[in-house]
Amino acid sequence: MPRGKFTNHKGRNRRFTNPEELEEERRREEQKKKWRQQQGVSSSEESDDEATGDKKISEESGSESEEESSEEDKKAKGVSNLIEIENPNRVQKKVKKLSTLNTTDLESKPQLSRREREEIERQRAQAHYQKLHAEGKTDQARADLARLAIIKQQREEAKKRREAEQKEKENAAKEKTAQVKRSRTERKGKCC
């Protein structure tokens, strides 16, 4: 046997109550209850048992007893009968007709969150800006067009310079070949 307050029940034989013992205990309880009713003494357990018994009997009896049981249900114990509390968070379901459900679902747009609305608005603003930019109405588009005009002008000037330089080189080459021919003809004339 272990010492101390707590004992370990593991490994011990299990003990089951006999149905006969249960029947005897129930009979004793009924006899005590009858004696208390005769004597006029009631306990809290007994009143609870009577209330549950009354409810069972009232359900079986019919419509007259339903009125009585509803009155008993209305009588609340403690402070709850003095204070009526209604839950503000409780949402009661509203009954809707099928015809109105179908039309309202098709008509109403889905509710968007704040982030989704901001994202859609941002996309619209960007598309609008791109449209104005393509038309050349924004400051950035004007600056880009001015820069492009300057670059085109510089390229045209560079092209003209290259063409002029190339013509000068060609003219210089022609003059040189002409001089070489003259000098050859002069040499031939001196030699012979």
Helix orientation angle between 114-135 and 139-191, rounded to the nearest 10 degrees:
40
pTM for the model? 0.33
pLDDT tens readout for residues 74-112: 565 666 666 667 777 877 777 877 777 666 555 566 788
> Is 71:85 a contact under the CB 8 Å cutoff?
no
Q: Which amino acid is at 69?
A: S
pLDDT tens readout for residues 109-141: 678 899 999 999 999 999 999 999 889 888 989
For residue 142, what are the contacts with CB-CB under 8 A and spacing of at least 6?
136
Which single residue is written with the structure tokens 């063409």?
A: 163
What is the distance between the alpha carbons of residues 190 and 192, in angstroms, rounded to a whole number?
6
